[in-house]
Chains A and B, each alone.
Chain A
């Protein structure tokens, strides 16, 4: 099967720091892949490289058969790449509903001047967006949170709001950066269920998390990064038994 995302020999450098060094990995359509590694391994940098937020020093990235490594970030999002951020990709001072509607920018389906005349198409599109928001919040059990201001929510709830917003866009590929941070055990289980549903409806996942248990339970494939290089790619069980992974990451994570 052709890969949905193909990262080929990607290197990223920040001044004297080699953040990614010749990284290659493939993500198949419908896959739930995990990306783990110690702090500073280059996991978020790889997300930024895929999303178009940092320039590549060398290498290439192909998404759904399209060479994307020269495309600006907003065009990559337009192709169906969604991503979350470690520090929440939400506007703190806005309501949950405004945040989720803002996230549906690409799905809106009307021109920027349409609101002036408000033709039927605009009214229908706005109505559909609001329905998507309601459905997404219902899916994570936050159906009564539309008018809550994000700054007033706990970090865990805000994280679920962020994920709900991302899923409401129906991205082809979803990059989740530390989605379990701030979640309690029940919320983590709820998130796992939501993500499995998303994959069942056609989304491919690449998840970064320090919660090894979450990754091992959720993912079918795991990529391990250390010092900007891919240390291991394969099954979660294989990763747990790989001496390089144990030495560089799992050993310390288990402790």
Chain B
């Protein structure tokens, strides 16, 4: 007869097995995370350090843009303080690393906290106004960060903060090739986490708040809280991108985060349009990617963002996401036509 200790441990083992089984990633999850991770990692050995550096910058740009996408295209809010929300965490991490001989890699998560707090401050001011005034309030917040923090020697030093070599748990990350996988993990992790959050009651609540705050309240959604959460989420992702910037760039100055960078972020999310994160990744690649990789042809780089913004607003207000849905719908129609047992008219119905 088994004793009670055996029974307890057997029951614990079965509970653990059950728990692990319930957390086993599905094929879809594995593909969603694994495929882009492998593809991004495969780029590293076949490109030069300069190209890899630009890809890393683009990935961090996309992380911050995903945050603004949630704020603008899901919650229906707006922020012109996004460059400051990336820049301030970046400068704080750089300053701490420089002054206290700490690894920027260990300090990077602090960026999330700073970005989250900045998001809360912007949300607190933006919640008191609506419409055009939100634009003005957030622009003022961006200006305040730029004019107050970015000019203070106690934060930005004399313009040349010397960072400590990146290390974590005794491991040194001495080359751009060694740091790149960390940036890939930050990017994939942010995109995947955001996707999961949006595909839950949080995402649906934000959609309802954007659609009609009165209906949202009647459905039990705490509208001010969800609006604030959207600002804090956007701030946290901006802070995450900013927090990892010193690690990747090894040198950050206030000039890296000019006020017009906020307009670039806004252009990216407008060109992306409402809906999927894929749209914002495509728009980031289009606008910031071109800027990074076509820096020699500065004319195109300088005007691509504004031109894409105007074309989107006037000709294609749904942005890349609407374009993607249209193509997807047509593909589904074509596939439907060739499905066995269907009459030719079914696909249109």
Number of interface residues of A (CB under 8 A): 38
Kindly state the separation between the CA atoms of A82 and B197 in the bound complex, as whole angstroms.
26
| A74 touching B220 in the complex, CB below 8 Å, given contacts A116-B196, A123-B22 | yes
Question: Inside 8 A of B220's CB, which chain A residues have their CB?
Answer: 74, 77-78, 105-106
Give the Cβ gap from A142 to chain B, nearest Cβ, in Å. Answer: 16
Chain A, residue nearest B19 (CB): A120
Interface string of B276-317 (1 = CB under 8 A from A): 000000000000000000000000000000000000000000
* Interchain CB contact under 8 A, B218 and A83: yes
Whether the Cβ atoms of A116 and B197 lie closer than 8 Å is yes
The proximity string for A residues 65-95 relative to B, scoring 1 for CB distances below 8 Å and 0 otherwise, is: 0000000111001100011010001111110
How far is B199's CA from A115's CA once the two chains are assembled, in angstroms? 8
Residues from chain B with Cβ under 8 Å of A108 in the complex: 200-201
Contact across chains for B200 and A115 when beta carbons are under 8 A apart: yes
In the complex, whether A16 has a CB less than 8 A from a CB of chain B is no
Q: Is the CB of B200 within 8 A of A102?
A: no
- Residues of chain A with a CB closer than 8 A to B193's CB: 116
Q: Does A8 contact B (CB under 8 A)?
A: no
Chain A residues whose C-beta falls within 8 Å of the C-beta of B200 in the assembled complex: 108, 110, 112, 114-115, 122, 126
Across the two chains, which residue of chain B brings its CB closest to A48?
B214
B211 in the interface (beta carbon within 8 A): yes
**Which one, B89-97, B202-210, B257-265, is touching chain A?**
B202-210
Please give the distance in Å from B276's CB to the nearest CB on chain A. Answer: 13
Given the known inter-chain contacts A77-B218, A103-B219, A106-B219, please indicate yes or no for A94 contacting B207, CB distance below 8 A.
yes
How far does the Cβ of B178 sit from chain A's closest Cβ, in whole Å?
A: 28
B175-229 interface (Cβ within 8 A of A): 193, 196-197, 199-202, 204-205, 207-208, 211-212, 214-223, 229
Q: Which residue of B lies closest to A78 (CB)?
A: B220
Nearest chain B CB to A106 CB, angstrom units: 4
Q: How far is the CA of A114 from the CA of B200 in the complex (A)?
A: 9
The answer to whether A52 and B207 touch across the interface, beta carbons within 8 angstroms, is no
What residue of chain B has the Cβ atom nearest to residue A162's Cβ? B215
Instruction: Kindly provide the distance from the CB of B333 to the nearest chain A CB, expressed in whole angstroms.
Output: 14
A201 within 8 A of partner (CB):
no
Nearest Cβ on chain A to B234's Cβ, whole angstroms: 15
CB–CB B201/A77 < 8 A: no
Partner of B202, one of A85, A89, A112: A112
CB distance from A12 to the nearest CB of B (A): 16
Give 11 pairs: A residue, B residue, CB < 8 Å, sorted on A. Answer: A52-B217, A74-B220, A89-B218, A89-B219, A91-B211, A105-B219, A106-B220, A115-B197, A118-B23, A120-B22, A126-B200
3 closest cross-chain pairs (CB), A and B: A77-B220, A73-B217, A115-B200
Q: Give the B-binding residues of A (Cβ under 8 A).
A: 51-53, 72-74, 77-78, 82-83, 85, 89-94, 98, 101-106, 108, 110, 112-120, 122-123, 126
